[in-house]
Structure 1
Amino acid sequence: MIENTFSTEDLPKEDRWASWYESGTRSHLPTLIRTDHQDDFRGSIRLLDLGSVQVSTLTYSPLQVRRTPKLIRQSDPDILYFVFHRRGGIGVAQAGREAVLTSQTLVFYDTSQPFTAWATAEHGSVAGCVILQVPRKLFPIRTETLDPLLAASLPSREGFGALLAGHLDQLVTNAAGYTPADAVRLAAITVDLSAALCSHELESNDTLPPETHRRAIQAQVHAFIREHLGDPDLSPDTIAAAHQISTRYLYKLFQDQGLTVADWIRRSRLERCRRDLADPAQRSRSVLAIAVQWGFKDGANFSRVFRSAYGMPPGEYRNHHQSDAVREPTRTVQATTRTS
């Protein structure tokens, strides 16, 4: 995964606006941008390139943006935008509709059609958003079908909107740990989730190819399980009911991954326990308390499955990994002392 960053913080004040303008239009698309803050403009751009898909985190002083018919004729990258509000006030107008975003909404628009956008912020502050750019040729829903969603506020705190927003947050947070091979897979998942969101808002699963719909449901199920790992009664029946699918179809989703539903739940719970046991900040918590927090009903069973997965009992694992964490800073201090 390729990550590029730009910030005005280290630039002279007189260069900040022009530099941000150039970086923004080059990394996104040609637009006309106006601001009343050229003399004290503040902004940043963090760009994650997944190959076919791009995710960017932007901050900026208040401004106005226009994409005109002339600019579209000159350059049309044929990109679909999903914009998630992060801070300040953000609005978009296109196709006769206008959306003003709040902390619980996102907006979708088409760069091949004229639009205007604006951002406001309290005095001395900046606005901010996350932008997902998806090439139209990769999007599995026809353009004309998407027209009712242009510049319409879409939810990002529930359903597929929340799933997509959470997915993008994870991409941004964990960008440094992904490989080029991961980028290809993550781009496909991102397209599936954004398409599933649109299909849901259009109230028609018929707009999605079966494979896209299956992968989107699979991602939704995974997210649901992660959110409910602490529930000891989490079961295939409750998972299937929560997603309005049959238990048989749920089993099929996991067969495609080479795991049973129970295996996936157990593996996820063990990973959360392993992480907490290795955390020095949780040393005061008992092994049983950690196991119960993540849905294990009794200590004996937890100890048995943990040892099977990681090669040692949970208490021994904790002692081994936390003692390593304590020794490491000591070695670093000693090496520094010898150098000086």
Structure 2
Amino acid sequence: MLLHASPLHFQDAGLWSEFLSQTFVPLAVREQGNQPFSNLAINEQLGSLMVTEMRCTAFQVDRTTALANRTETALYKASLQLSGTSEIQQRNRKVVLQAGEWAFYDTTCPYTVSVGADAHFLVLQLELGHMQTWLPYLQAALVRRFETQAGSGQLMRQMLLGALNQRQHLSDVAAGGVSAAIMHLIGAQLSECAEVAPDHEQESVQQVQLLKLKHYIAENLTDPDLKVEQLCEYFRYSRRYLYKLFALQNLSPADYIQRQRLEACKQLLANPHYQRPVTELAYQYGFRDATAFSHAFRRRYGLSPTAWRQTPNDAKDCNMC
């Protein structure tokens, strides 16, 4: 097993069904084949990602219409096959995953997953709130086969497996940063491979361009030169066209960059393990000085950075968005 915790061993389909329903969403489970039932599973929290590793004999799970209709939270699952095979069916689509391939599916809709004998795979749970940037492409990306042999897929797989291998040596802050990077790579691959409807081609092209801009911004938030000019030069867009793309979000490029920087700072200040001074954080995220940072933070969230840092976590959850 890749994860370092002791795995749970299941030799009974009923207990396995209970584990899966508690870990993910309620599911109906059936054994398949003649192989003695023997499944191993480990859950590991990696930042905002819950990762479940499984080594299994053959079985099938069904997310029935009745179970899906009881869903309260939008949750997506990404399944990365390490060995063996798995078949996923949803919305009249079907994909068979071999080693090194992954697929993405929606727990708010009925689905069936059939796992082959001696299968080894990882399942990542992704809340909709973490996937807002990629929302235009989620439906087109459902139940499609994605490769991890090159490009963003390979980077995602390497980063995920490396992070799981080093999880016990990662601080909560580091694990949060790694999980955010993994989600950005997942989103990048979704946007690269998403199907484009012919009657919305121009709009879809612009959405892809905007998503790539957002991904680049997220990866370069601490670069003090991250400005409109740098974006135009890197993507070879005119200033006018860049503003047109961000108008899809009703924001200017500079406003979007500042919001993302403020959000990153807010998350760090909420983490009790992050103890660096506010002034250092301001410079780190491209603000010219602590005063400018404080004014921008207060305008956005209604509190100074210091007051936000000192606010109890339960009050943060209730009062801030």
* Cα separation, 2, equivalents of 1:113 and 1:32: 14
In structure 2, the residue matched to 1:100 is 96
In structure 2, the residue matched to 1:83 is 79
Aligned-pair distance for 1:5? 4.5
What TM-score do you get using the length of structure 1 for normalisation?
A: 0.56
Structure 2, unmatched stretches of 5+, are 195-204, 222-233, 237-260, 262-321
Deviations 1:250-295 (A, max 9, x none): xxxxxx9xxxxxxxxxxxxxxxxxxxxxxxxxxxxxxxxxxxxxxx
Kept in 1, the 8 Å contact 2:32–2:60? The answer is no
Aligned-pair distance for 1:97? 1.0
Aligned-pair distance for 1:75? 3.0
Say which one has the larger Rg: 1
In structure 2, the residue matched to 1:168 is 160
SS in 2 for 1:103: coil
In structure 1, the residue matched to 2:66 is 70
* Cα separation, 1, equivalents of 2:220 and 2:4: 29
Aligned residue runs from structure 1 range 37-186, under 5 A: 40-121=36-117, 126-141=118-133, 143=135, 145-186=137-178
Deviations 1:92-112 (A, max 9, x none): 011211101112421111111
- Against the structure 1 CA distance between its residues 95 and 206, is the aligned structure 2 distance closer, same or farther, given a 3 Å change threshold? farther
Kept in 1, the 8 Å contact 2:35–2:57? The answer is no
In structure 2, the residue matched to 1:35 is 31
Counterpart of 1:155, as a letter, is E
Counterpart of 2:88, as a letter, is V
Structure 1, unmatched stretches of 5+, are 219-243, 247-255, 257-340
* Cα separation, 2, equivalents of 1:174 and 1:90: 27
- Against the structure 1 CA distance between its residues 150 and 217, is the aligned structure 2 distance closer, same or farther, given a 3 Å change threshold? farther
Counterpart of 2:183, as a letter, is V
Which of residues 205, 208, 213 is equivalent to 1:205? Answer: 208
Counterpart of 2:115, as a letter, is A
Aligned-pair distance for 1:145? 2.9
RMSD: 2.9
Deviations 1:2-36 (A, max 9, x none): 97553217xxx5xx333332222211221111004
Kept in 1, the 8 Å contact 2:54–2:121? The answer is yes
- Against the structure 1 CA distance between its residues 93 and 53, is the aligned structure 2 distance closer, same or farther, given a 3 Å change threshold? same
Aligned-pair distance for 1:62? 0.2
How many aligned positions are there? 212
Which of residues 10, 17, 38 is equivalent to 2:13? Answer: 17
Name the % identity: 19
* Cα separation, 2, equivalents of 1:134 and 1:175: 19
* Cα separation, 2, equivalents of 1:193 and 1:208: 12
What TM-score do you get using the length of structure 2 for normalisation?
A: 0.59
SS in 1 for 2:109: coil
* Cα separation, 2, equivalents of 1:177 and 1:145: 35
In structure 1, the residue matched to 2:257 is none
Aligned-pair distance for 1:129? 0.8
* Cα separation, 2, equivalents of 1:129 and 1:207: 32
Kept in 2, the 8 Å contact 1:196–1:216? The answer is no
Deviations 1:106-130 (A, max 9, x none): 1111111111110112xxxx21211
Aligned-pair distance for 1:135? 0.6
- Against the structure 1 CA distance between its residues 60 and 216, is the aligned structure 2 distance closer, same or farther, given a 3 Å change threshold? farther
